[in-house]
């Protein structure tokens, strides 16, 4: 009976106690790791916000930098430059990206679709500085920098992001929808352009927005293609323009604390833009996906 | 459409439908052709990138050959260039960053898939992923002006005092250097690896987890015995992808690594990676220096192509195993 | 092969007369549930169950789908703890201890009360390591090889796998995988083995092997099996509990209708609902 009593006992044995302790320790470590990641995010955002928010003013957004040797001034040229660069890059990357996605999901055989996805993934995995060097070698050597060349480099970065996001959304479009359209006698291209694409518009849009967020923060591709610019606001894509990331990169290396303040302020603008739109896009995407999957 | 649906036999019907069909065929063909051309353009772009980079690097490649990879020194004044210093810098920073990031990312993945309160899971997961959305130039700015001084004035002196007998922690503490670069790279790759890990862990079949727990295993024992072995190759692919990201990061590393050269054992020393050297010296470079910088880019390109292909192949094999194995 | 089958069958032939006059009342109760209700969210899945399960018997739980059989079974070793919304009320006494009581750890509970699932779920490891894993985790590392051989023999799998112990478990057939899972469960020397429709994913030959096995195993363990197959319950079980779905305005929940010796349940049930079910008139 005494043997039975320990055999059926549910109180923790010493060994189980030790195992439970190891388990607890590991759970604590995992929790700490996750908290640490969130804490780093918070520390980065807070330190940028603290140092950057105070420098924001009307002049900061509307004036260009003070002439050489003087500190102060605004960053209007960088803001406009970034706007031009990203808008142009979006215009280049989005149509091509959607076409690639349509090819992969609607026309290609599984094998070719697989290969195309691999190409996109490899393109996405290339360091952005490689893209910068490529555009530099292709377009800049011999003829100089220009905003459109920078946009071209950004477009190469956006292309796989847009194409992959679109392709994934297209894959979610229920086949019953396609079949329904086909059963009405609609041709393939009408089905694709009239039914499949409009259904996926929300997903494509959020994918594009995420790509824009990424492009807006890219520095390396612009370094070689549009980084040396006149100290003036220009909307002309044939001229080299300044941009927010390039400006931060340059100001951070300056010994002048006033330049650091401007770098922080620009960093704050950039980080707010990027975080807000990627957060919104993620939420929309999640909602959109669950709607399609239902 | 209406002509075909209301298929009333009439004399005009056949001609109408054949015209329609011609239009459809043209439309289908045009869309198919256009999309195929776009896909082909993406492949061509990849080839063009490789070709152009080797083309511009050619003067340096033909002058130095593979010796470029095994020699040290970067002397602009004497027009002598070699890559070993930067290959070393890239290897040290990337490997060290992964050494820290891999266990941390796996832990985060486990927390998010197994431990976190259900309601908070997606929120915490997206916060971790947001870390990846911070532009590298902003992280670099934070790295040089906030993290750097902390490392140079607090962390490194502390390490030096207590662990100075290890060559890694010898030398003079600096605000910029290899250690800061390692930390910044760690911050960059953790969200990438951990979000893949989370998806992998969530994908482990519940039956397997229950099987382990029904034997009287603790959660951690289940993780070690079932979840980690089951997802091993996927986690490896994630780490390789993280490695690809770490070796290619130019901007933040340039900002925090302090542009040194030479091969040092001390983590406090300044240094340069392949990518950061290119980013630093692009301006005002000419002649052989340009070719040598692009030669550095070519090395980076080859490594990152290999790394990406390897990761994707492992990933595919893993998916195949998962769907075909059980 | 034939000789083996003979050997496994033979003891049952002898056991039959001993089983016939068997009465549960003379045996020690392993489980006693009192007012056991398990809910997912707000809706109870199974409600107010009072049931005693006796040592070294096979107890079958039968009933139409949705009657809460599996939920009840999973509440006996706290597997329901893993489902976030699950809530357990009432008591489950195991040898007199409430397994939901204060200071009782589910890890210790599951170590005593093993489980075999509907779908064979071998670990992605070798056959050997599938059985060895639980032993290693629980610190039963002495004589690992002989423990593994014993468990595989008990599970009637040893002869089929002894030459490929280091091969992956996924290479086995479904029936072999399920017997491996049984070996894995009994290797750690539990007191009770819960089986949740263990043969529902298997072909008839594999099923009959599992059923033969249960006759063997009850000499050493207490077995509780959930099954949707009445013939199976009639073949393997000493005691049978019939659950049904009681419809209410908000849906419905499982209740225990009748619990008795298996022959009685199938030949002279005392409740109309049981009679309807076992004669195939409803459910």
* pLDDT for the residue numbered B321: 57
pLDDT at C200: 85
Task: Say if residue C171's pLDDT is above 80.
Answer: yes
pLDDT for position A67: 59
Question: Strand, helix or coil at B11?
Answer: coil
Give the Cβ contact number of residue A160 at 10 Å. Answer: 25
A118/B115 Cβ within 8 A: no
Predicted confidence at residue C20, as pLDDT, reads 40
B217 close contact with C: CB closer than 8 A: yes
Is residue B61 within 8 A of residue B68, CB to CB? The reply is yes
pLDDT tens-digit readout, A142-159: 888 888 999 999 999 999
pLDDT digits (tens, 9 = 90+) for C177-209: 999 999 999 999 999 999 999 988 888 888 888
**Of B269, B291, B264, B262, residue with least CA distance to B278:** B291
**Interface check C45 vs B, CB under 8 A:** no
C58-62 vs C239-248, strand pairing mode: parallel
Domain ranges of chain A: 15-53, 59-293
pLDDT tens-digit map of B294-323? 999 999 999 999 999 999 888 877 765 554
Cβ atoms of C274 and C258 within 8 Å: the answer is yes
The mean of the pLDDT values for chain C is: 85
Q: How far is B261 from chain A (nearest CA, A)?
A: 19
Residue of chain B whose Cα is closest to the Cα of A126? B304
* CA–CA dist C122, B205 (Å, integer): 11
Instruction: Report the residue from C104, C105, C109 with minimal CB separation from A20.
Output: C105
Percentage of the residues of chain B whose pLDDT score is greater than 90: 48
Furthest C-alpha separation in chain C: 58
Q: Is C51 helix (H, G, I), strand (E, B) or coil?
A: strand
Q: Which residue of chain C comes nearest to A12, CA vs CA? A: C108
CB-CB neighbours of C74 under 10 Å: 26
Partner-chain contact A267 B218, CB within 8 Å: no
| pLDDT, mean over chain B | 86
Tell whether B212 lies on the interface with C, counting CB pairs under 8 A. yes
Distance CA C136, CA C153 (A): 19
Nearest to B191, CA basis, from B120, B125, B110, B142: B125
Distance of alpha carbon C167 from alpha carbon A71, whole angstroms = 73
pLDDT at A270 exceeding the cut of 70: yes
The pLDDT assigned to C172 comes to 92
Residues 259-278 on C with a CB inside 8 Å of A are: none
Cα–Cα distance, C160 to C175 (Å, whole number): 12
Q: Hunting for tokens 């770098």 — which residue is that?
A: A263
| CA distance, residue C253 to nearest chain B CA (Å) | 24
In the prediction, which pLDDT does C15 show? 34
The whole-number average pLDDT for the span C104-131 is: 91
Yes or no: say if A153 and A131 are a contact pair by the CB < 8 Å rule: yes
| A245 → closest Cβ in B108, B135, B304 | B135
Q: Which residue has the tokens 């790279």?
A: B185
In tens, the pLDDT along B171-199 reads 777 888 889 999 999 999 999 999 999 99
Q: Is the dihedral of CA C153, C157, C162, C166 positive or negative?
A: negative
pTM recorded for the entire structure: 0.86
Separation between Cα atoms, residue B146 and residue B154, nearest integer Å: 12
Measured CA to CA, the distance from residue B46 to residue B53 in angstroms comes to 11
Task: State how far residue C113 is from chain B, nearest Cα, in angstroms.
Answer: 8
**B4 pLDDT band (50/70/90 cuts)?**
very low
**Residue in B with minimal Cα distance to A37:** B128
Cβ pair A196, A132 in contact under 8 A: no
Among A249, A262, A217, A244, residue whose Cα is nearest residue B253: A249
Task: Using CB atoms within 10 Å of the CB of residue B35, give its burial: 0 to 12 exposed, 13 to 18 middle, 19+ buried.
Answer: buried
- Given pLDDT bands bounded at 50, 70 and 90, which one contains residue A166? very high
Cα-Cα-Cα-Cα dihedral of A239, A248, B287, A134, to 10°?
-70
Residue B257: predicted pLDDT: 85
The encoded tokens of residue A201 equal 């518009």
Which of the residue ranges A72-81, A268-277, B27-36, B156-165 would you say has the lowest mean pLDDT? Answer: A72-81
Angle of the C174-187 helix axis to the C144-154 helix axis, nearest 10: 130
Inform me whether the C-beta atom of residue B325 falls under 8 Å from chain C C-beta atoms. Answer: yes
Q: What is the 3-state secondary structure (H, E, C) of B36-90?
A: HHHHHHHHHHHHHHHHHHHHHHHHHHHHHCCHHHHCCCEECCCCEECCHHHHHHH
Q: Give mean pLDDT, residues A256-285.
A: 87
Range of weakest confidence among B19-23, B64-68, B244-248, C90-94: B19-23
Instruction: State residue B99's pLDDT score.
Output: 97
Sign of CA dihedral C269, C274, C276, C278: negative
Assess whether pLDDT exceeds 60 at residue B168: yes
Name the band, by pLDDT with cuts 50, 70 and 90, for residue A113: very high
The runs of H, that is alpha helices, within B164-227 are 178-202, 206-214, 219-222
Search chain B and give the residue with CA nearest C82: B210
Q: Which residues contact A292 (CB under 8 A, 6 or more apart)?
A: A169, A172, A173, A174, A199, A203
3-state secondary structure of B116: coil
What does the block give as tokens for B180?
Answer: 């800061």
Per-residue confidence at C23, pLDDT binned at 50, 70, 90? low
Q: Note the pLDDT tens digit of each residue in A183-232.
A: 787 778 888 888 888 888 888 888 899 899 999 999 999 988 888 777 77
A72-98 pLDDT per residue, tens: 667 888 888 899 999 999 999 999 999
Chain A touched by B244 (CB under 8 Å): yes
Give the minimum alpha-carbon distance from B55 to chain A in angstroms, rounded to a whole number: 9
pLDDT of residue C283 exceeding 60, the answer is no
According to DSSP, the β-strands at C222-226 and C192-196 are parallel
Residue B221 touches partner A, C-beta closer than 8 Å = yes
Q: Do B304 and A245 make contact, defined as CB atoms within 8 angstroms?
A: no
Q: Confidence class of residue A238 from pLDDT cuts 50, 70 and 90?
A: confident
pLDDT at A293 over 80: no
Angle (CA) B286-B289-B294 rounded to 5° is: 105
CB atoms within 10 A of CB B236: 16
ipTM of the complex model: 0.88
Say if residues A73 and A66 touch (Cβ distance below 8 Å). yes
Lateral strand order in the sheet of C239-248: C97-98, C86-94, C29-40, C43-54, C251-261, C239-248, C58-62, C222-226, C192-196, C113-116
For strand B80-81 and strand B74-75, is the pairing parallel, antiparallel, or unpaired? antiparallel
Q: Cβ of C141 under 8 Å from any chain A Cβ?
A: no
Residue A36: list chain B partners with CB under 8 A.
104
Closest by Cβ to A185, choosing from B1, B31, B37: B1
- Tell me if B279 and A279 make a contact (CB, 8 A cut-off): no
Which stretch of A227-241, B4-18, B269-283 has the lowest confidence by average pLDDT?
A: B4-18
Contact at 8 Å (CB) between A53 and A269?
no
* Three-state SS at B276: helix
Cα separation, A272 vs A268, in Å, equals 6
Q: In the structure, what pLDDT confidence band is assigned to residue A66 with cuts at 50, 70 and 90?
A: low
State the chains in contact with C (3 or more Cβ–Cβ pairs under 8 Å). A, B
Q: Which domains does chain B have, with CATH numbers?
A: 59-323 (1.10.3720.10)
Measured in angstroms, the CA of A173 and the nearest CA of chain B are apart by 18
Three-state SS for chain A is CHHHHHHCCCCCCHHHHHHHHHHHHHHHHHHHHHHHHHHHHHHHHHHHHHHHHCCCCHHHHHCCECCCCCCCECCHHHHHHHHHHHHHHHHHHHHHHHHHHHHHHHHCCHHHHHHHHHHHHHHHHCCHHHHHHHHHHHHHCCCCCCHHHHHHHHHHHHHHHHHHHHHHHHHHCCHHHHHHHHHCCCCHHHHHHHHHHHHCHHHHHHHHHHHHHHHHHCCHHHHCCCCCCCCCCCCCCCCCCCCHHHHHHHHHCCCCHHHHHHHHHHHHHHHHHHHHHHHHHHHHHHHHHHHHHC
CATH, domain A59-293, list 3.40.190.10, 3.40.710.10, 3.20.20.70, 1.10.3720.10: 1.10.3720.10
How far is Cα B177 from Cα B271, in angstroms, rounded to an integer?
6
Describe the crossing of helices B228-248 and A128-135 by its angle, rounded to 10 degrees.
Answer: 40
Q: Does B215 touch chain A (CB under 8 A)?
A: no
- pLDDT recorded at residue C10: 34
Among A2-16, A79-93, C25-39, whose mean pLDDT is lowest? A2-16
Average pLDDT over residues A261-278: 91
């Amino acid at each position: 009976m005494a043997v039975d009593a320990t055999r059926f006992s549910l109180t923790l044995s010493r060994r189980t106690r030790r195992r439970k302790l190891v388990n607890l320790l590991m759970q604590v470590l995992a929790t700490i790791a996750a908290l640490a990641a969130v804490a780093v995010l918070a520390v980065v955002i807070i330190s940028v916000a603290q140092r950057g928010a105070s420098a924001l003013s009307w002049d900061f957004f509307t004036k260009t930098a003070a002439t050489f040797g003087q500190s102060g001034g605004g960053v209007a040229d960088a803001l406009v430059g970034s706007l031009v660069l990203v808008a142009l890059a979006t215009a280049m990357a989005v149509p091509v990206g959607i076409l690639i996605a349509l090819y992969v999901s609607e026309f290609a055989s599984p094998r070719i679709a697989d290969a195309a996805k691999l190409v996109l993934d490899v393109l996405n995995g290339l360091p952005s500085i490689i893209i910068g060097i490529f555009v530099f070698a292709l377009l800049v050597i011999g003829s100089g920098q220009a905003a459109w060349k920078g946009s071209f480099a950004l477009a190469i970065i956006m292309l796989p992001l847009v194409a992959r996001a679109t392709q994934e959304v297209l894959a979610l479009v229920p086949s019953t929808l396609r079949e329904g359209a086909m059963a009405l006698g609609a041709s393939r291209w009408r089905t694709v352009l009239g039914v499949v694409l409009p259904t996926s518009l929300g997903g494509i849009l959020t994918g594009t927005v995420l790509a824009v967020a990424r492009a807006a923060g890219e520095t390396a591709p612009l370094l070689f293609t549009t980084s040396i610019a006149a100290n003036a606001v220009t909307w002309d894509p044939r001229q080299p323009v300044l941009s927010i990331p390039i400006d931060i990169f340059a100001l951070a290396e300056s010994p002048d604390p006033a330049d650091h303040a401007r770098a922080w302020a620009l960093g704050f603008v950039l980080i707010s833009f990027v975080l807000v739109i990627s957060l919104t896009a993620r939420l929309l995407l999640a909602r959109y996906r669950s709607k399609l999957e239902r | 459409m209406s002509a075909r649906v209301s298929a009333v036999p009439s004399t005009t019907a056949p001609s109408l439908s054949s015209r329609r069909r011609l239009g459809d065929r043209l439309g289908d063909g045009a869309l198919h052709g256009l999309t195929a051309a776009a896909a082909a353009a993406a492949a061509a772009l990849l080839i063009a990138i490789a070709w152009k980079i080797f083309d511009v690097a050619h003067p340096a490649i033909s002058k130095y050959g593979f010796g470029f990879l095994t020699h040290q020194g970067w002397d602009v004044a004497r027009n002598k260039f070699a890559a070993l210093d930067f290959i070393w810098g890239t290897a040290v920073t990337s490997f060290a960053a992964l050494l820290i990031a891999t266990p941390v990312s796996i832990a985060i993945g486990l927390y998010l898939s197994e431990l976190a309160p259900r309601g908070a899971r997606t929120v915490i997961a997206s916060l971790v992923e947001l870390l990846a959305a911070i532009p590298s130039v902003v992280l670099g700015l934070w790295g040089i002006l906030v993290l750097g001084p902390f490392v140079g004035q607090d962390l490194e002196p502390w390490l030096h005092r207590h662990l100075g007998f290890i060559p890694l922690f010898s030398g003079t503490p600096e605000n910029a250097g290899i250690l800061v670069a390692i930390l910044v790279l760690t911050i960059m790759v953790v969200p990438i690896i951990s979000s893949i890990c989370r998806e992998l862990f969530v994908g482990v079949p519940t039956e397997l987890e229950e099987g382990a727990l029904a034997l009287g295993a603790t959660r951690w024992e289940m993780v070690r015995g079932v979840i980690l072995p089951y997802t091993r190759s996927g986690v490896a692919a994630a780490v390789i992808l993280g490695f690809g990201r770490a070796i290619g990061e130019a901007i933040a590393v340039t900002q925090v690594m302090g542009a040194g050269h030479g091969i040092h054992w001390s983590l406090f020393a300044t240094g340069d990676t392949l990518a950061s050297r290119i980013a630093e010296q692009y301006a005002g470079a000419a002649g052989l220096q340009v070719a040598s910088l692009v030669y550095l880019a070519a090395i980076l390109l080859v490594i990152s192509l290999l790394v990406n292909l390897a990761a994707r192949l492992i990933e595919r094999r893993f998916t195949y195993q998962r769907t075909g194995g059980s | 092969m034939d000789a083996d089958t003979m050997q496994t069958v033979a003891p049952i032939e002898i056991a039959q007369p001993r089983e016939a006059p068997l009465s549960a009342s003379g045996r020690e109760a392993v489980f006693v549930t009192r007012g056991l209700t398990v809910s997912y969210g707000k809706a109870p899945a199974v409600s107010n169950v009072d049931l005693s399960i006796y040592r070294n018997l096979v107890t079958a739980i039968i009933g139409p789908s949705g009657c809460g059989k599996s939920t009840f079974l999973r509440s006996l070793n706290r597997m329901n703890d893993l489902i976030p919304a699950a809530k357990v009320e009432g008591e489950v006494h195991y040898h007199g201890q409430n397994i939901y009581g204060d200071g009782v750890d589910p890890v210790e509970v599951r170590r005593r009360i093993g489980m075999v699932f509907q779908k064979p779920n071998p670990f992605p490891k070798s056959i050997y390591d599938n059985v060895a894993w639980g032993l290693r985790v629980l610190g039963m590392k002495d004589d690992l090889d002989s423990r593994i051989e014993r468990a595989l023999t008990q599970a009637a799998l040893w002869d089929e796998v002894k030459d490929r112990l280091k091969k992956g478990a996924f290479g086995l057939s479904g029936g072999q995988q399920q017997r491996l899972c049984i070996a894995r469960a009994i290797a750690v020397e539990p007191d009770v083995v819960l089986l949740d429709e263990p043969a529902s994913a298997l072909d008839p030959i594999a099923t009959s092997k599992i059923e033969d096995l249960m006759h063997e195993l009850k000499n050493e363990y207490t077995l509780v099996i959930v099954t949707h197959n009445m013939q199976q319950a009639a073949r393997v079980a000493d005691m049978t509990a019939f659950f049904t779905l009681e419809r209410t305005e908000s849906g419905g929940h499982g209740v225990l209708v009748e619990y008795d010796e298996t022959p009685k349940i199938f030949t002279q049930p005392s409740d109309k609902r049981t009679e309807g079910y076992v004669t195939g008139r409803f459910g």
